Structure 1
Amino acid sequence: NPQNWSLGKKLLVSSLTWLLTFAIYIGSAIYSPGIPGVAGEFGVSTVASTLGLTLFVLVYGIGPMIWSPLSELPTVGRSPIYLFTLLAFVMLNLGVLYAKNFGMLFAFRFLTGFIGSPALATGGASMGDIWTPRVG
């Protein structure tokens, strides 16, 4: 039971959850300054290169509809979801980095948005599991 953890462990796990959520949010925003570079690198319009941001945000909004119910299953839980998706998020971002063409870039942006979305949906639930609300 996370509410029985020591204060140090609660703070550590909470901080890691906050950091993961921050990384996902910055994963969407950090793409924006690179839009002109994407357009130049792949020879596409600036409007077309904004699809990398659009796809990421679209699927990190849709992804929690799958990941959140899965994290509530007693046989799965939140920790395996966090661990798997964090590792996959990092690996897929390497795919974004080394994309050889426009299609690869957007496929990897799509996948990173989807795979990173559990932190956005289950982070609040994790905080509710760890901390006891104070009334009054």
Structure 2
Amino acid sequence: MSWTVKSLVLPLVLLCLWGLQEGAQACWCPPVHPQTAFCQADFVLKAKVLAKEDVGIFVKNDIKQLQVVKMFKGAHVDIGAIYTTTDPGACALTLSTGVEYLLSGRLAPDGLPHVVSCDFLAPWDSLTACQKTNLVHGYRKGCDCQAQQSS
């Protein structure tokens, strides 16, 4: 090998390894039907985001203060705020203040409601009429059903 080829090999290898490490930190969510997401969530609600607050020193989190408009699932849970990560690799969630959203999520062991971008969420105005109707009447009824693949 000539000197110029040898001098290019190490930087190319390092660049490829760096690219793999960056890719490993990306958030990826498998496609999930809204009914499945509804059934897997601890809570599903329509809420308006009132404010955002950054918390944490080593692990950054956002607390989003909410005005709950309607609870579709988890009525026993008192939710005035949700917790989200700011780490893109952990599926950080971006919500705009003043906008109404459909939000779903899980309760952490400490009882705090957490939401990530893989959860069932969307700006309320982007939902179809069918989705809005199913939030009230349909999705809950199908939670006991298990889809099976035929052979």
> What TM-score results when the alignment is normalised by the length of structure 1?
0.24
Greater strand proportion: 2
Structure ranking higher in helix proportion: 1
Higher relative contact order (CA 8 A, sep 6+): 1
Structure index of larger Rg: 2
